Structure 1
């Protein structure tokens, strides 16, 4: 095996990275663009909000079918799901805002 003319995987990986850097330049370490990041965040917030309604409604519907108490449990669990979705939306929005403020502070401290 020591006389094997094929390069090792680590050597091949190193040579590929060198060739990629020669052709494309060094990889950029910047954060993704704000537009795509904002769109992704908006989509995530919307899904989290809507999923509370859907999950609550489905649980209520299933319990109503099981207990035969239509539509009361569905209404109750739909409202609970709405409350849970709203709380998840608020928590996520606060977390995203804190991350954005932290990245802005970091950007301003590295510039000046």
Structure 2
């Protein structure tokens, strides 16, 4: 025959599992800020990356818009658009390079090893 239900034993087993779960959760260390030092990219690096992205996109958009506008105004289609896109790309690369150089210069002033000081 089957054993009769044991509510007291079930309650003890649930309490035991709960206690072990609380003990296991207590052992896990919560992440702490490392006084501005993180394992990933810093906020400054993220800002420079976004600036590079925006400079590239803005250069292409402005160059493309001006080229398209000149095409419509002067009837040079598609040469102004192509020229505007190329010049916009060059301007975006130039602005991105300047942002990267400024970041590298600031990083060199802050110190660091020779590996960190190399320009990209």
Residue number in structure 2 paired with 1:66: 73
* Cα offsets for 1:4-30 (capped at 9, x unmatched): xxxxxxxxxxxxxxxxxxxxxxxxxx8
2:62 is aligned with 1:55: yes
* RMSD (Å) for aligned C-alpha atoms: 2.0
2:96 is aligned with 1:89: yes
Flag as ranges the 4+ runs of structure 1 deviating above 3 A. Answer: 30-34
Task: In structure 2, list runs of 5 or more residues that go unmatched.
Answer: 1-34, 113-120
Q: Normalized against structure 1, the TM-score is what? A: 0.60
- Higher normalized helix content (fraction of residues): 1
CA change 1:38–1:52 in 2 (3 A) is: same
* Cα offsets for 1:19-48 (capped at 9, x unmatched): xxxxxxxxxxx8797622211111011101
Task: In structure 1, list runs of 5 or more residues that go unmatched.
Answer: 1-29, 106-112
